Structure 1
Amino acid sequence: MGDLTFDIAHMLAGGLVLLSFVMLYQDRLYALLNVYALHAVVLAASVAWQAFAQDAPHLYVTAAIALAFKAVVIPTALHRIIRRLGIHREIETVGGVGPTMLAGMGLVALSLAVMLRITPEAEPLAREDLAFALSVVLLGLLMMVTRRNAVSQVVGFMSLENGLVLAAAGAKGMPLVVEISVAFSILIAFIVIGIFLFRIRERFDTVDLHALDRFRGERR
Protein backbone atom coordinates (compact mmCIF):
# COMPACT_ATOMS: atom_id res chain seq x y z
CA MET A 1 0.00 0.00 0.00
CA GLY A 2 2.87 2.36 0.77
CA ASP A 3 4.46 1.88 -2.63
CA LEU A 4 1.11 2.35 -4.39
CA THR A 5 0.48 5.58 -2.48
CA PHE A 6 3.93 6.83 -3.40
CA ASP A 7 3.55 5.90 -7.08
CA ILE A 8 0.10 7.47 -7.54
CA ALA A 9 1.16 10.69 -5.79
CA HIS A 10 4.17 11.00 -8.08
CA MET A 11 2.17 10.14 -11.17
CA LEU A 12 -0.26 12.97 -10.43
CA ALA A 13 2.48 15.47 -9.56
CA GLY A 14 4.42 14.48 -12.67
CA GLY A 15 1.22 14.90 -14.67
CA LEU A 16 1.06 18.52 -13.52
CA VAL A 17 4.60 19.11 -14.80
CA LEU A 18 3.74 17.46 -18.12
CA LEU A 19 0.61 19.61 -18.53
CA SER A 20 2.68 22.71 -17.76
CA PHE A 21 4.81 21.81 -20.78
CA VAL A 22 1.66 21.28 -22.85
CA MET A 23 0.54 24.80 -21.88
CA LEU A 24 3.92 26.18 -22.93
CA TYR A 25 3.47 24.48 -26.31
CA GLN A 26 0.01 25.93 -27.04
CA ASP A 27 -0.31 28.74 -29.57
CA ARG A 28 -4.08 29.31 -29.31
CA LEU A 29 -5.94 30.79 -26.37
CA TYR A 30 -8.88 28.37 -26.32
CA ALA A 31 -6.54 25.36 -26.34
CA LEU A 32 -4.46 26.97 -23.59
CA LEU A 33 -7.54 27.48 -21.40
CA ASN A 34 -8.67 23.89 -21.97
CA VAL A 35 -5.26 22.56 -20.94
CA TYR A 36 -5.29 24.83 -17.88
CA ALA A 37 -8.67 23.39 -16.88
CA LEU A 38 -7.19 19.89 -17.15
CA HIS A 39 -4.19 21.12 -15.13
CA ALA A 40 -6.59 22.16 -12.37
CA VAL A 41 -8.40 18.80 -12.49
CA VAL A 42 -5.10 16.95 -12.03
CA LEU A 43 -4.20 19.34 -9.20
CA ALA A 44 -7.50 18.57 -7.47
CA ALA A 45 -6.87 14.84 -7.87
CA SER A 46 -3.34 15.21 -6.51
CA VAL A 47 -4.48 17.17 -3.46
CA ALA A 48 -7.31 14.70 -2.81
CA TRP A 49 -4.81 11.83 -2.97
CA GLN A 50 -2.56 13.66 -0.52
CA ALA A 51 -5.58 14.03 1.78
CA PHE A 52 -6.04 10.27 1.66
CA ALA A 53 -2.34 9.48 2.06
CA GLN A 54 -1.85 11.90 4.98
CA ASP A 55 -5.27 11.27 6.57
CA ALA A 56 -5.87 15.04 6.34
CA PRO A 57 -9.59 15.67 5.69
CA HIS A 58 -9.15 19.44 5.32
CA LEU A 59 -7.22 18.84 2.10
CA TYR A 60 -10.40 17.48 0.52
CA VAL A 61 -11.79 21.00 0.85
CA THR A 62 -8.74 22.34 -0.98
CA ALA A 63 -9.28 19.75 -3.73
CA ALA A 64 -12.95 20.74 -4.05
CA ILE A 65 -12.03 24.44 -4.27
CA ALA A 66 -9.46 23.72 -6.96
CA LEU A 67 -11.93 21.63 -8.95
CA ALA A 68 -14.78 24.14 -8.72
CA PHE A 69 -12.95 27.43 -9.20
CA LYS A 70 -9.80 26.54 -11.12
CA ALA A 71 -11.18 23.84 -13.40
CA VAL A 72 -14.66 25.27 -14.06
CA VAL A 73 -15.34 28.86 -12.99
CA ILE A 74 -12.12 30.59 -14.06
CA PRO A 75 -11.66 28.86 -17.48
CA THR A 76 -15.35 29.43 -18.32
CA ALA A 77 -15.10 33.11 -17.37
CA LEU A 78 -11.92 33.56 -19.42
CA HIS A 79 -13.61 31.94 -22.43
CA ARG A 80 -16.38 34.52 -22.14
CA ILE A 81 -13.91 37.39 -21.75
CA ILE A 82 -12.11 36.31 -24.92
CA ARG A 83 -15.38 36.17 -26.87
CA ARG A 84 -16.68 39.51 -25.54
CA LEU A 85 -13.44 41.37 -26.12
CA GLY A 86 -12.81 39.78 -29.51
CA ILE A 87 -9.25 39.04 -28.41
CA HIS A 88 -6.84 37.72 -31.05
CA ARG A 89 -6.79 34.00 -30.36
CA GLU A 90 -3.27 33.18 -31.49
CA ILE A 91 -0.53 33.47 -28.87
CA GLU A 92 2.78 35.04 -29.79
CA THR A 93 5.84 33.85 -27.91
CA VAL A 94 9.15 35.57 -27.20
CA GLY A 95 11.85 33.53 -28.92
CA GLY A 96 9.63 30.76 -30.28
CA VAL A 97 8.22 27.54 -28.88
CA GLY A 98 11.37 25.40 -29.31
CA PRO A 99 13.71 27.53 -27.16
CA THR A 100 10.91 27.96 -24.61
CA MET A 101 10.50 24.19 -24.26
CA LEU A 102 14.27 23.75 -23.89
CA ALA A 103 14.32 26.44 -21.21
CA GLY A 104 11.44 24.64 -19.46
CA MET A 105 13.39 21.37 -19.43
CA GLY A 106 16.35 23.20 -17.92
CA LEU A 107 14.14 24.66 -15.19
CA VAL A 108 12.73 21.25 -14.33
CA ALA A 109 16.24 19.80 -14.07
CA LEU A 110 17.25 22.74 -11.86
CA SER A 111 14.18 22.24 -9.64
CA LEU A 112 14.94 18.55 -9.12
CA ALA A 113 18.63 19.16 -8.45
CA VAL A 114 18.02 21.99 -5.98
CA MET A 115 15.06 20.56 -4.09
CA LEU A 116 16.43 17.03 -3.74
CA ARG A 117 19.74 18.45 -2.50
CA ILE A 118 18.32 20.81 0.14
CA THR A 119 15.72 18.39 1.57
CA PRO A 120 17.72 15.19 2.27
CA GLU A 121 16.01 14.59 5.62
CA ALA A 122 12.42 15.11 4.44
CA GLU A 123 10.06 12.21 3.82
CA PRO A 124 10.50 10.82 0.27
CA LEU A 125 6.90 11.61 -0.71
CA ALA A 126 7.05 15.23 0.47
CA ARG A 127 10.58 15.71 -0.84
CA GLU A 128 9.85 14.70 -4.41
CA ASP A 129 6.43 16.37 -4.50
CA LEU A 130 8.15 19.64 -3.53
CA ALA A 131 10.55 19.18 -6.44
CA PHE A 132 7.63 18.70 -8.84
CA ALA A 133 5.83 21.67 -7.31
CA LEU A 134 8.85 23.94 -7.80
CA SER A 135 8.99 22.78 -11.43
CA VAL A 136 5.35 23.80 -11.92
CA VAL A 137 6.03 27.20 -10.32
CA LEU A 138 9.04 27.89 -12.53
CA LEU A 139 7.23 26.77 -15.68
CA GLY A 140 4.38 29.14 -14.79
CA LEU A 141 6.90 31.97 -14.44
CA LEU A 142 8.41 30.98 -17.80
CA MET A 143 5.00 31.21 -19.43
CA MET A 144 4.49 34.70 -18.00
CA VAL A 145 7.88 35.82 -19.32
CA THR A 146 7.61 34.32 -22.81
CA ARG A 147 4.01 35.22 -23.70
CA ARG A 148 3.02 38.55 -25.24
CA ASN A 149 -0.72 38.14 -24.71
CA ALA A 150 -2.09 39.39 -21.39
CA VAL A 151 -4.61 36.53 -21.05
CA SER A 152 -1.91 33.89 -21.50
CA GLN A 153 0.12 35.66 -18.82
CA VAL A 154 -2.88 35.42 -16.48
CA VAL A 155 -3.01 31.67 -17.17
CA GLY A 156 0.71 31.45 -16.42
CA PHE A 157 0.15 33.17 -13.08
CA MET A 158 -2.69 30.79 -12.19
CA SER A 159 -0.65 27.71 -13.14
CA LEU A 160 2.14 29.07 -10.93
CA GLU A 161 -0.35 29.25 -8.07
CA ASN A 162 -1.30 25.62 -8.76
CA GLY A 163 2.32 24.71 -8.06
CA LEU A 164 2.17 26.52 -4.72
CA VAL A 165 -0.97 24.59 -3.75
CA LEU A 166 0.74 21.32 -4.69
CA ALA A 167 3.75 22.26 -2.56
CA ALA A 168 1.55 23.11 0.42
CA ALA A 169 -0.37 19.84 0.11
CA GLY A 170 2.79 17.75 -0.24
CA ALA A 171 4.37 19.41 2.80
CA LYS A 172 1.60 18.14 5.08
CA GLY A 173 -0.90 20.76 3.99
CA MET A 174 -1.91 24.19 5.21
CA PRO A 175 -4.46 25.14 7.84
CA LEU A 176 -7.93 25.22 6.30
CA VAL A 177 -8.40 28.92 6.99
CA VAL A 178 -5.25 29.71 5.02
CA GLU A 179 -6.42 27.57 2.10
CA ILE A 180 -9.79 29.32 1.98
CA SER A 181 -8.09 32.72 2.21
CA VAL A 182 -5.80 31.84 -0.69
CA ALA A 183 -8.75 30.64 -2.77
CA PHE A 184 -10.71 33.85 -2.22
CA SER A 185 -7.61 35.97 -2.83
CA ILE A 186 -7.11 34.25 -6.20
CA LEU A 187 -10.79 34.77 -7.04
CA ILE A 188 -10.58 38.47 -6.19
CA ALA A 189 -7.37 38.80 -8.19
CA PHE A 190 -9.11 37.11 -11.13
CA ILE A 191 -12.00 39.58 -10.97
CA VAL A 192 -9.59 42.52 -10.88
CA ILE A 193 -7.62 41.07 -13.82
CA GLY A 194 -10.87 40.67 -15.78
CA ILE A 195 -11.79 44.31 -15.22
CA PHE A 196 -8.22 45.31 -16.11
CA LEU A 197 -8.41 43.41 -19.41
CA PHE A 198 -11.70 45.08 -20.29
CA ARG A 199 -10.18 48.51 -19.64
CA ILE A 200 -7.09 47.73 -21.76
CA ARG A 201 -9.25 46.48 -24.62
CA GLU A 202 -11.51 49.54 -24.38
CA ARG A 203 -8.60 52.00 -24.38
CA PHE A 204 -6.13 50.42 -26.82
CA ASP A 205 -8.27 47.95 -28.82
CA THR A 206 -5.78 45.13 -28.09
CA VAL A 207 -4.31 43.08 -25.26
CA ASP A 208 -1.14 42.13 -27.14
CA LEU A 209 1.75 43.39 -25.02
CA HIS A 210 4.00 43.97 -28.04
CA ALA A 211 1.36 46.25 -29.56
CA LEU A 212 0.80 48.02 -26.24
CA ASP A 213 4.50 48.92 -26.08
CA ARG A 214 3.96 51.26 -29.03
CA PHE A 215 1.61 53.37 -26.93
CA ARG A 216 4.27 54.21 -24.36
CA GLY A 217 4.95 57.91 -24.17
CA GLU A 218 1.94 58.86 -26.29
CA ARG A 219 -0.32 61.56 -25.01
CA ARG A 220 -3.88 60.57 -24.17
Structure 2
Amino acid sequence: MGPLDIAHFLAGFVVLLSFSLLYQDRLPPLINTFAAQSLVLALSVAWQAQTQHAPHLLITAGIELGFKTVLIPLVLYWTIRNLKIHRTVEIVVGVGPTIIAGIALVGLSAGLMLRAAAGVGGLAHQDMAFALSVVLLGMLMMVTRRNAVSQVIGFMSIENGLVLAATGARGMPFVVETCVAFSVLVALIVIGIFLFRIRERFDSVDLALIDSFRGERS
Protein backbone atom coordinates (compact mmCIF):
# COMPACT_ATOMS: atom_id res chain seq x y z
CA MET A 1 0.00 0.00 0.00
CA GLY A 2 1.50 3.31 -1.14
CA PRO A 3 1.50 6.64 0.74
CA LEU A 4 -1.50 7.97 -1.21
CA ASP A 5 -3.43 4.76 -0.60
CA ILE A 6 -2.88 5.13 3.15
CA ALA A 7 -4.00 8.78 2.99
CA HIS A 8 -7.19 7.81 1.19
CA PHE A 9 -7.78 4.90 3.58
CA LEU A 10 -7.59 7.24 6.59
CA ALA A 11 -9.85 9.83 4.92
CA GLY A 12 -12.35 7.10 4.05
CA PHE A 13 -12.25 5.88 7.64
CA VAL A 14 -13.21 9.40 8.80
CA VAL A 15 -16.26 9.21 6.49
CA LEU A 16 -17.14 5.77 7.88
CA LEU A 17 -17.04 7.15 11.41
CA SER A 18 -19.36 9.97 10.29
CA PHE A 19 -21.88 7.27 9.40
CA SER A 20 -21.27 5.68 12.80
CA LEU A 21 -22.15 9.03 14.42
CA LEU A 22 -25.50 8.93 12.64
CA TYR A 23 -26.11 5.37 13.88
CA GLN A 24 -25.58 6.05 17.61
CA ASP A 25 -28.67 6.41 19.81
CA ARG A 26 -26.97 7.11 23.16
CA LEU A 27 -24.70 9.97 24.15
CA PRO A 28 -21.70 8.04 25.61
CA PRO A 29 -21.14 5.94 22.43
CA LEU A 30 -21.75 9.09 20.37
CA ILE A 31 -19.00 10.94 22.23
CA ASN A 32 -16.67 7.93 21.92
CA THR A 33 -17.30 7.76 18.18
CA PHE A 34 -16.55 11.47 17.79
CA ALA A 35 -13.29 10.99 19.72
CA ALA A 36 -12.41 8.10 17.39
CA GLN A 37 -13.19 10.24 14.33
CA SER A 38 -10.96 13.03 15.63
CA LEU A 39 -8.18 10.51 16.37
CA VAL A 40 -8.29 9.10 12.83
CA LEU A 41 -8.34 12.67 11.48
CA ALA A 42 -5.25 13.48 13.56
CA LEU A 43 -3.52 10.42 12.08
CA SER A 44 -4.59 11.50 8.59
CA VAL A 45 -3.20 15.01 9.08
CA ALA A 46 0.05 13.63 10.51
CA TRP A 47 0.37 11.32 7.50
CA GLN A 48 -0.24 14.26 5.14
CA ALA A 49 2.49 16.16 6.98
CA GLN A 50 4.91 13.38 6.09
CA THR A 51 3.83 12.85 2.49
CA GLN A 52 3.65 16.59 1.73
CA HIS A 53 6.87 17.36 3.63
CA ALA A 54 4.91 19.96 5.61
CA PRO A 55 6.00 19.79 9.27
CA HIS A 56 3.60 22.60 10.23
CA LEU A 57 0.70 20.18 9.68
CA LEU A 58 1.92 18.30 12.74
CA ILE A 59 0.62 21.28 14.75
CA THR A 60 -2.83 20.70 13.26
CA ALA A 61 -2.56 16.99 14.09
CA GLY A 62 -1.59 17.89 17.67
CA ILE A 63 -4.57 20.25 17.95
CA GLU A 64 -6.92 17.52 16.73
CA LEU A 65 -5.40 15.00 19.11
CA GLY A 66 -5.33 17.24 22.18
CA PHE A 67 -8.55 19.19 21.79
CA LYS A 68 -11.03 17.00 19.95
CA THR A 69 -9.78 13.53 20.81
CA VAL A 70 -9.17 14.14 24.53
CA LEU A 71 -10.29 17.51 25.93
CA ILE A 72 -13.68 18.03 24.26
CA PRO A 73 -14.93 14.44 24.87
CA LEU A 74 -13.93 14.77 28.54
CA VAL A 75 -15.79 18.08 28.82
CA LEU A 76 -18.87 16.60 27.15
CA TYR A 77 -18.82 13.64 29.56
CA TRP A 78 -18.49 16.05 32.46
CA THR A 79 -21.40 18.11 31.09
CA ILE A 80 -23.86 15.24 30.70
CA ARG A 81 -22.90 13.88 34.13
CA ASN A 82 -23.18 17.16 36.05
CA LEU A 83 -26.27 18.42 34.22
CA LYS A 84 -27.85 14.95 34.53
CA ILE A 85 -28.70 15.03 30.83
CA HIS A 86 -30.83 12.16 29.52
CA ARG A 87 -28.35 9.89 27.75
CA THR A 88 -30.63 8.74 24.93
CA VAL A 89 -30.18 10.70 21.69
CA GLU A 90 -33.52 12.13 20.61
CA ILE A 91 -33.91 11.77 16.83
CA VAL A 92 -36.20 13.45 14.31
CA VAL A 93 -35.84 10.81 11.57
CA GLY A 94 -35.21 7.09 12.06
CA VAL A 95 -31.72 5.65 11.76
CA GLY A 96 -32.51 3.74 8.54
CA PRO A 97 -33.75 6.74 6.52
CA THR A 98 -30.92 8.85 7.94
CA ILE A 99 -28.27 6.36 6.76
CA ILE A 100 -29.90 6.22 3.32
CA ALA A 101 -29.85 10.02 3.15
CA GLY A 102 -26.19 9.92 4.21
CA ILE A 103 -25.32 7.52 1.38
CA ALA A 104 -27.07 9.87 -1.05
CA LEU A 105 -25.04 12.80 0.29
CA VAL A 106 -21.79 10.88 -0.20
CA GLY A 107 -22.81 10.18 -3.81
CA LEU A 108 -23.64 13.86 -4.24
CA SER A 109 -20.22 14.81 -2.86
CA ALA A 110 -18.46 12.52 -5.33
CA GLY A 111 -20.49 13.95 -8.22
CA LEU A 112 -19.87 17.56 -7.21
CA MET A 113 -16.14 17.06 -6.77
CA LEU A 114 -15.93 15.28 -10.12
CA ARG A 115 -17.16 18.49 -11.75
CA ALA A 116 -15.56 21.07 -9.44
CA ALA A 117 -12.08 19.47 -9.53
CA ALA A 118 -12.15 18.55 -13.21
CA GLY A 119 -8.82 20.30 -13.83
CA VAL A 120 -6.83 18.39 -11.21
CA GLY A 121 -5.81 14.80 -10.71
CA GLY A 122 -8.15 11.98 -9.79
CA LEU A 123 -6.56 11.62 -6.36
CA ALA A 124 -7.58 15.20 -5.49
CA HIS A 125 -11.15 14.28 -6.44
CA GLN A 126 -11.13 11.59 -3.76
CA ASP A 127 -9.62 13.85 -1.09
CA MET A 128 -12.18 16.61 -1.60
CA ALA A 129 -15.08 14.16 -2.00
CA PHE A 130 -14.22 12.55 1.36
CA ALA A 131 -13.97 15.96 3.04
CA LEU A 132 -17.26 17.22 1.58
CA SER A 133 -18.94 13.98 2.64
CA VAL A 134 -17.86 14.53 6.25
CA VAL A 135 -19.17 18.11 6.16
CA LEU A 136 -22.55 17.10 4.71
CA LEU A 137 -22.94 14.15 7.09
CA GLY A 138 -22.23 16.49 10.00
CA MET A 139 -24.96 18.82 8.74
CA LEU A 140 -27.32 15.86 8.40
CA MET A 141 -26.62 14.92 12.00
CA MET A 142 -27.47 18.43 13.18
CA VAL A 143 -30.76 18.32 11.25
CA THR A 144 -31.86 14.88 12.44
CA ARG A 145 -30.91 15.15 16.15
CA ARG A 146 -32.88 17.15 18.72
CA ASN A 147 -30.52 16.89 21.68
CA ALA A 148 -28.27 19.94 22.02
CA VAL A 149 -25.19 17.85 22.88
CA SER A 150 -25.57 15.71 19.75
CA GLN A 151 -25.94 18.87 17.66
CA VAL A 152 -22.72 20.20 19.19
CA ILE A 153 -20.96 17.00 18.10
CA GLY A 154 -22.46 17.39 14.62
CA PHE A 155 -21.05 20.93 14.44
CA MET A 156 -17.57 19.74 15.45
CA SER A 157 -17.79 16.90 12.93
CA ILE A 158 -18.37 19.54 10.24
CA GLU A 159 -15.18 21.26 11.42
CA ASN A 160 -13.37 17.92 11.10
CA GLY A 161 -14.44 17.79 7.47
CA LEU A 162 -13.11 21.30 6.86
CA VAL A 163 -9.75 20.35 8.37
CA LEU A 164 -9.66 17.22 6.19
CA ALA A 165 -10.33 19.37 3.11
CA ALA A 166 -7.65 21.90 3.99
CA THR A 167 -4.94 19.32 4.66
CA GLY A 168 -5.83 17.39 1.52
CA ALA A 169 -5.44 20.60 -0.48
CA ARG A 170 -1.71 20.76 0.28
CA GLY A 171 -1.97 22.02 3.83
CA MET A 172 -2.94 25.18 5.69
CA PRO A 173 -0.96 28.23 6.77
CA PHE A 174 0.03 28.24 10.43
CA VAL A 175 -2.21 31.23 11.18
CA VAL A 176 -5.24 29.28 9.94
CA GLU A 177 -4.38 26.36 12.22
CA THR A 178 -4.08 28.73 15.19
CA CYS A 179 -7.43 30.32 14.36
CA VAL A 180 -9.07 26.90 14.10
CA ALA A 181 -7.74 25.92 17.54
CA PHE A 182 -8.86 29.21 19.05
CA SER A 183 -12.33 28.97 17.47
CA VAL A 184 -12.79 25.44 18.84
CA LEU A 185 -11.78 26.60 22.32
CA VAL A 186 -14.11 29.59 22.22
CA ALA A 187 -16.94 27.44 20.84
CA LEU A 188 -16.40 24.95 23.68
CA ILE A 189 -16.68 27.72 26.30
CA VAL A 190 -19.78 29.19 24.67
CA ILE A 191 -21.37 25.75 24.33
CA GLY A 192 -20.75 25.02 28.00
CA ILE A 193 -22.41 28.27 29.08
CA PHE A 194 -25.23 27.67 26.58
CA LEU A 195 -25.98 24.20 27.93
CA PHE A 196 -25.88 25.33 31.53
CA ARG A 197 -28.33 28.14 30.80
CA ILE A 198 -30.70 25.80 28.94
CA ARG A 199 -30.59 23.29 31.78
CA GLU A 200 -31.13 25.99 34.39
CA ARG A 201 -34.08 27.55 32.56
CA PHE A 202 -35.88 24.54 31.06
CA ASP A 203 -34.50 21.55 33.03
CA SER A 204 -33.81 19.84 29.69
CA VAL A 205 -31.56 20.08 26.64
CA ASP A 206 -34.11 18.49 24.30
CA LEU A 207 -34.76 21.21 21.72
CA ALA A 208 -38.25 19.87 20.98
CA LEU A 209 -39.29 20.38 24.60
CA ILE A 210 -37.92 23.91 24.49
CA ASP A 211 -40.00 24.63 21.37
CA SER A 212 -43.06 23.26 23.18
CA PHE A 213 -42.35 25.60 26.06
CA ARG A 214 -42.45 28.50 23.61
CA GLY A 215 -45.66 27.17 22.07
CA GLU A 216 -44.00 25.89 18.84
CA ARG A 217 -45.34 22.37 18.76
CA SER A 218 -44.43 20.16 15.79
TM-score by length of 2: 0.97
Q: Equivalent residue for 1:184?
A: 182
Q: Equivalent residue for 2:166?
A: 168
Q: Equivalent residue for 1:147?
A: 145
Distance of 1:126 and 1:161 partners within structure 2: 19
Q: Equivalent residue for 1:46?
A: 44
Q: Equivalent residue for 2:70?
A: 72
Distance of 1:160 and 1:118 partners within structure 2: 20
Asked whether the equivalents of residues 28 and 87 of structure 2 are also in contact (C-alpha less than 8 Å), the reply is: yes
Distance of 1:169 and 1:122 partners within structure 2: 16
Asked whether the equivalents of residues 142 and 150 of structure 2 are also in contact (C-alpha less than 8 Å), the reply is: yes
- Mind listing any 5+ residue stretches in structure 2 that lack a counterpart? none
What SS does the aligned partner of 1:120 have? coil
Q: Equivalent residue for 1:61?
A: 59
TM-aligned CA deviation for residue 126 of structure 1 = 2.8
Q: Equivalent residue for 1:204?
A: 202
Instruction: Give RMSD over aligned pairs.
Output: 1.2
Distance of 1:74 and 1:106 partners within structure 2: 30
What SS does the aligned partner of 1:56 have? coil
Q: Equivalent residue for 1:106?
A: 104
Among 109, 113, 119, the residue aligned to 1:121: 119
Q: Which runs of at least 4 in structure 1 moved beyond 4 Å after TM superposition?
A: none
Asked whether the equivalents of residues 17 and 136 of structure 1 are also in contact (C-alpha less than 8 Å), the reply is: yes
Q: Deviation string for 1:162-197 (max 9, x for gaps)?
A: 000000000011101111111111110111011100
What SS does the aligned partner of 1:55 have? coil
TM-aligned CA deviation for residue 121 of structure 1 = 2.0
For residue 212 of structure 1, what is the amino acid of its counterpart? I
Q: Deviation string for 1:62-102 (max 9, x for gaps)?
A: 00110000000000000000000000000121121110000
Asked whether the equivalents of residues 125 and 170 of structure 1 are also in contact (C-alpha less than 8 Å), the reply is: no
Q: Aligned pair count?
A: 216
What SS does the aligned partner of 1:86 have? coil
Asked whether the equivalents of residues 91 and 145 of structure 2 are also in contact (C-alpha less than 8 Å), the reply is: yes
Q: Deviation string for 1:11-59 (max 9, x for gaps)?
A: 0000000000000000000000000000000000000111111111110
TM-aligned CA deviation for residue 157 of structure 1 = 0.2
Moved more, 102-111 or 208-217: 208-217
Moved more, 123-132 or 48-57: 123-132
Among 9, 14, 17, the residue aligned to 1:16: 14
Identical aligned pairs, as a percentage? 66
1:195 matched to 2:203? The reply is no
TM-score by length of 1: 0.96
TM-aligned CA deviation for residue 125 of structure 1 = 3.2
Asked whether the equivalents of residues 37 and 70 of structure 1 are also in contact (C-alpha less than 8 Å), the reply is: yes
